[in-house]
Amino acid sequence: MGIIFLGPPGSGKGTQAETLAKEFNLNLIVMGDILRKEIKELTPLGTQIKSYVETGALVPDELVIKLIQKNLAGNSFILDGFPRTVKQAEMLDTVTQIDKVVYFNCPAELILERLSNRRTCPKCNKVYNLVTNPPKNNETCDDCKTELFQRKDDKTEVIQNRIEVYKKETFPLIDFYNKKTVLDEINAADKIENIHSKIKCLINKITKKP
Ligand code: AMP
């Protein structure tokens, strides 16, 4: 089963993908995490892509396509953050089957509010929101007690660029997948639990569970 979570940055794809992948035993592939790992480990690829990621630009298609081919093991997966361009989607079609695309429709004001309040744990990658899902103690991870940080691309000046890039490069994918009749839209401003049950229903429909 191949599922794509599509939507602007900050629309809650990552939060939902994490729980649902566990629940349905699906391989979770998060392109942003794969790229950030390369940067953190100072690999040659990491050095090459650092400035794209930190300024909110897209990493060139040929680089992310190579990475996805390396990471796309098996046929049961949730993809978060890939594809982000029509070229990436066309390539994906040649290597695997996509059964469902969940489109997280999210207004721009909410994206801005969510991303600017997002804090991440550098050790375990757990994501918090200072307003809606704050850590228990100051800006420290509840699980591993490490000090949280704000991603460079979650700073206000970069967020606007990410939204523009999304509109220009990724938004056309909604039409691309709509034409293939695999797209379902959810309201990303809804409560986490409601979104979770809606997507669960969509996945159960594919697996034909009641
Ligand atoms: P994310 O964590 O999904 O918001 O991704 C963070 C950044 O990684 C993006 O702003 C891009 O610079 C880069 N990135 C992630 N996924 C892709 C992709 N599919 N194609 C190109 N660049 C990507």
Ligand 1 mean position to 83 CA, how many Å?
9
Encode pLDDT of 8-62 as tens digits: 999 999 999 999 999 999 999 999 999 999 999 999 999 999 999 999 999 999 9
Lowest mean pLDDT among 127-131, 171-175, 182-186: 127-131
Q: Is the pLDDT of residue 132 over 90?
A: no
Q: Which residues line ligand 1 (CB under 6 A)?
A: 9, 31-32, 35, 52-53, 56-59, 64, 81-84, 88, 153, 162
Q: Which of 31, 38, 157, 161 to mutate to test the pocket of ligand 1 (most atoms within 8 A of CB)?
A: 31
Encode pLDDT of 80-118 as tens digits: 999 999 999 999 999 999 999 999 999 989 999 999 999
Higher local confidence (pLDDT), 172 or 207: 172
Mean pLDDT within 184-191: 96
pLDDT of residue 210: 54
78: confidence class by pLDDT, cuts 50, 70, 90: very high
pLDDT of residue 125: 87
DSSP symbols for 63-87: HHHHHHHHH--SS-EEEES---SHH
Mean pLDDT within 58-78: 92
Angle at 163 between CA 159 and CA 165, to 5 degrees: 115
Ligand 1 mean position to 184 CA, how many Å?
22
Respond yes or no: is residue 13 known to be catalytic.
yes
> What is the pTM assigned to this prediction?
0.94
Options 13, 36, 100, 119, the catalytic residue: 13
Respond yes or no: is residue 118 known to be catalytic.
yes
Report the 10 Å Cβ neighbour count for 108.
14
13 in Cβ contact with 110 (< 8 Å): no
Options 36, 100, 114, 118, the catalytic residue: 118
How far CA 40 is from CA of 43, 49, 50, 53, 177, in Å, comes to: 8, 11, 9, 12, 33
DSSP symbols for 31-48: HHHHHHHHHHTT-HHHHH
Read off the tokens for 57: 């630009």
209: confidence class by pLDDT, cuts 50, 70, 90: low
Encode pLDDT of 144-172 as tens digits: 999 999 999 999 989 999 999 999 999 99
Options 87, 151, 198, 200, the catalytic residue: 151
Q: Is the pLDDT of residue 207 over 90?
A: no
Query: Of all atoms in ligand 1, which is nearest to the CA of residue 30?
Result: 3
pLDDT of residue 77: 96
